[in-house]
Structure 1
Amino acid sequence: MEIVNANSASLSNLEVFKHLQKIKDSKRKHRGQLATITYETIRYLENTPCADETNESVKECLKALAPFNLNKTEMLMMINSPPITALEIQLMVEESEERLTEEQVQEILEIIVRYFPYVVMKEADEEDNESQE
């Protein structure tokens, strides 16, 4: 098999998760490697932010992020792993110090919290669990 165009499309974790759930729920039962890969990937994605995302929250978040002139890859990273700190945004956005002001970084964090509030709650729960140990 030959890959004609490796960059023809990028899928978010939510899109992959929904597609794999359709495969799993289909009446046609898959065997062997496809069934194993489907099962393991679904198990992994259930423990990521995409399990709580909706198509609408992703679309609205992308619209809200549009004024920041982020490229597709940067936006996809923010959807797949929503940042909760300025440092995470710096890691996701190439040359973020030159492209974004501190106020813009704070605006991005507010947008993420607005459309993905469960991410902040999960992170706070994990930090509480670590401090109790």
Structure 2
Amino acid sequence: MEILNARKSVLTNYEVMKLLEEEKNAVTAATGKRVRDKDKMLMTVVYEAQKYLKTTPAAVQTQDCISKLVKLLKPYELTGAETLQIINLRPTAPTDVQLIVKEPEERFKSETAMDDLINVVTSTLPPKPIPPATPSRAT
């Protein structure tokens, strides 16, 4: 895969999922039923990446809920990287936020500020997908 339009920004997991879906559709449409070895390798990478991303919050997110969350996070004065991590990881506990936000004790003056941030995230982004149950093996 060659980057034709380089951007100086990062992508959310949701955006990566959408790009992978577009790439999969483009390869399928371009090659038809005959898939070259190079395309097979690309499709393997796309499949594995999509398989992983379907286990993350990105699997149930939409562009609308992400846009809404970004607007609601403005008052918290988060960096772009912190906002990205909040979107990708969907923190649900203060410890999650402490791992994402640099110097949270100084930036969140009150304990309620961090709880408010968590409430904004959990009310705006849908819950993480529930992984399928794996059958247990009898030994």
* Corresponding residue to 2:30 among 25, 28, 31: 28
Aligned residues: CA RMSD: 2.2
- 1:13-50 alpha-carbon deviations (Å, 9 max, x no partner): 00000010111122124613211111110111111110
- Match of 1:56? 64
Q: C-alpha distance in 2, partners of 1:109/1:52? A: 18
Of all paired residues, the percent bearing the same amino acid is 31
- Structure with more helix by fraction: 1
Amino acid in the other structure paired with 1:13: N
Structure 1: 5+ residue runs without aligned partners? 1-5, 123-133
User: Which of these two proteins has the greater Rg computed from alpha carbons?
Assistant: 2
Matched, 1:44 2:52: yes
Taking the TM superposition and a 5 Å limit, the aligned residue runs for 1:51-130 are 51-100=59-108, 101-119=110-128, 122=130
Structure 2: 5+ residue runs without aligned partners? 1-5, 131-139
Secondary structure of residue in 2 paired with 1:118:
coil
- Match of 1:10? 10
Q: C-alpha distance in 1, partners of 2:14/2:70? A: 14
**Greater RCO, CA 8 A, separation 6+:** 2
Q: C-alpha distance in 2, partners of 1:13/1:28? A: 25
Deviation at 1:104, TM superposition (A): 1.1
Q: C-alpha distance in 1, partners of 2:59/2:120? A: 19
TM-score between the two structures when normalised by the length of structure 2: 0.77
Q: C-alpha distance in 2, partners of 1:59/1:42? A: 22
